[in-house]
Amino acid sequence: MGFTLDDRAAECDFRQMSTQACPIVGIPTCAMLVDDKPMYRVAGKYAASVVNGADCLPLLIPAIGEVGCFIELMARLDGLFLTGGASNVRPDFYDGEESRAGTLHDPERDSTTLPLIRAAIEAGVPVFAVCRGIQELNVALGGTLHQNVHELPGKSEHRMNRSIPQDERYEVRHPITIRPGGMLEKMTDGETADGREVMVNSLHAQAIDRLADRLFVEAVSDDGVIEAVSVADSKAFALGVQWHPEHHTSLQWPLSKAMFEGFGVACRERMAARGSSDGASSIRAA
């Protein structure tokens, strides 16, 4: 397979990165066909957000399934960033009903990300998961998914509006309420503890159904969909959100900045803890 980074969606400003050693953040790719050629691919906005939001160095991980080297990989990573994607998590990974005909799946990605998540949490590697990533986080730890959450009674339309321009799809769509006692409350300095809401975007069909036992609900939408979770017993930063904070529009929101900055701090702590301050890759300002 080939490798490609779609950098049309966003640009990485490497000049803004620290001149010191940079934490290395692994980003699992999707497996797909591009012009009938098999590729491992990730949208450029995800790599860009790791650079511009977390001040870390992104490293793409090909979706090659569980190859028995994830423990060794975790020893070399300072963070794991799980992205969104066009495909759905295959329901056989959580004993769900068979998907409808025409549903896009990426079994290579599922077979890569699910064991990677478990390995990262066990090793104390910081994890940040968005959109499809929060769904993978829940499934990896034993939870289940709704495949079409908008069809459930009382639920709103959460899917991407494909009739509007690309950038407009990432503008705010609905409010979420951040629950007290979690990571997001701390990131917002407790400003949401009295019930105030935060607006987020929405571009998903799947959503968490049964919550994995190890997860804590950080936020819910106004129609009751779980929008953010954390790993309650994690040794390090471990957060998942259902919306897209990585897009260059939403990356400017205060909560997005706080999440990426918090992830970056955790990755630098991981880098220091594994004694890689002198050996990690560094990017110097041009």
The catalytic residue positions are 131, 244, 246
| Phi and psi torsions of 5, nearest 5° | -115, 110
Query: CA–CA separation, 177 vs 144, rounded Å?
Result: 22
Please give the C-alpha separations between residue 256 and each of 7, 14, 34, 80, 260, in angstroms, as whole numbers: 21, 19, 31, 17, 6
Query: CA–CA separation, 8 vs 38, rounded Å?
Result: 20
Query: CA–CA separation, 266 vs 79, rounded Å?
Result: 8
Task: For residue 53, give both structure tokens.
Answer: 């939001």
Query: CA–CA separation, 268 vs 126, rounded Å?
Result: 10
- Under DSSP, the state recorded for 104 is -
Run of H or E residues at 152: none
CA dihedral 105, 92, 162, 7 (to 10 degrees): -50
Query: CA–CA separation, 177 vs 166, rounded Å?
Result: 26
Nearest C-alpha neighbor of 73 from the set 125, 21, 12, 127: 125
Q: Three-state SS across 170-216?
A: HCCCEEEEECCCCHHHHHCCCCCCCCCEEEECCCCCCEECCCCCCEE
